[in-house]
Amino acid sequence: PGTTNVATSSGSGGTPAPAASGSMAWSKIIEPDYVLAEIKSYQNLVAEDVKSLSGFKGGGYKNSRISYSMLGLMFAIIAEYDGDIRFKKDALAARELFGRVSMNLKVSTDQAFNESKARAEDLAALIRGDTIQAPPNIDPKVKWQEKVANRPPLMTRLNTATEERLNKAMSDAGAFAKSGDMVMHEAQVIAAISAAIQREGYGSADDDTYLQYARDMQNSATEISNAVKAKNYEAASKAFSAIKQKCDECH
């Protein structure tokens, strides 16, 4: 679980990226700026979800489950990151805390509300530069499916990236040119999710067909990132079409 057999893309047609320090080379999949941007994007969302108990139980808890699943994932990635990145010293604590609340948000209990509120305060503290209290006995090698993020919330985030955000940005060359940073962010998040769900424990991760779908999607997402850097709309559009096809085939 601390290592993985994921075929990480270096942007050259699915060539595996070298592993660093015995784990995945995350720097080849998602750059630090986009890990941090993804984390910061949830600060207001999780705070809004716990403004009232009635709002939380009326649906806010479902939104929070997605947010905390992604936060758990991002901090799990930071804990393994093969390079300099913010939040490294607090990454395992944050992974544990955000992952735990994401697992508890399958139902809308008072306890889940209180835990979500506490974690929203932890996130705000981290972003303003404070440290957080680490829970005891953290295992750095947990199975992510069990302790970090279940697959369904990750798939919801992936669907947001493809069906909402990238769909608009890929509609024509003009939209693509205006949306470069957003496209890069969403593509790298897709690549990170695709890499994560290949890990041991994610349901079909022992199924070769499933793994190939995830690898292909990861590679196509990295191709989009490379196309943004090259300002190549045709290459980005082709890679995005490949992602959508894999999503349709897998479903």
Q: What is the DSSP string of 38-69?
A: HHHTTHHHHHHHTS-HHHIIIIIHHHHHHHHH
Strand partners, 9: 16
Q: Which amino acid is at 26?
A: W
Read off φ and ψ for residue 220, nearest 5 degrees: -65, -40
**In whole angstroms, what is the distance from residue 191 CA to residue 224 CA?**
10
Cβ-proximal residues to 210 (8 Å cutoff; 6+ apart), any chain: 203, 204, 250
Nearest to 45 by CA among 55, 54, 35: 55
Question: What pLDDT, in 10s, does the model give residues 189-245?
Answer: 999 999 999 998 886 656 788 888 899 999 999 999 999 999 999 999 999 999 988
- C-alpha 218: how far from chain center: 12
Question: What pLDDT, in 10s, does the model give residues 85-124?
Answer: 999 999 999 999 999 999 999 999 999 999 999 999 999 9
Reported pTM: 0.89
Q: What's the pLDDT at 4? A: 35
Q: What's the pLDDT at 246? A: 76
Question: What pLDDT, in 10s, does the model give residues 7-23?
Answer: 333 333 443 343 333 46
pLDDT band at 251 (very low <50, low <70, confident <90, very high): low
- C-alpha 161: how far from chain center: 11
CA dihedral 89, 27, 31, 67 (to 10 degrees): -60
Question: What pLDDT, in 10s, does the model give residues 159-178?
Answer: 999 999 999 999 999 999 99
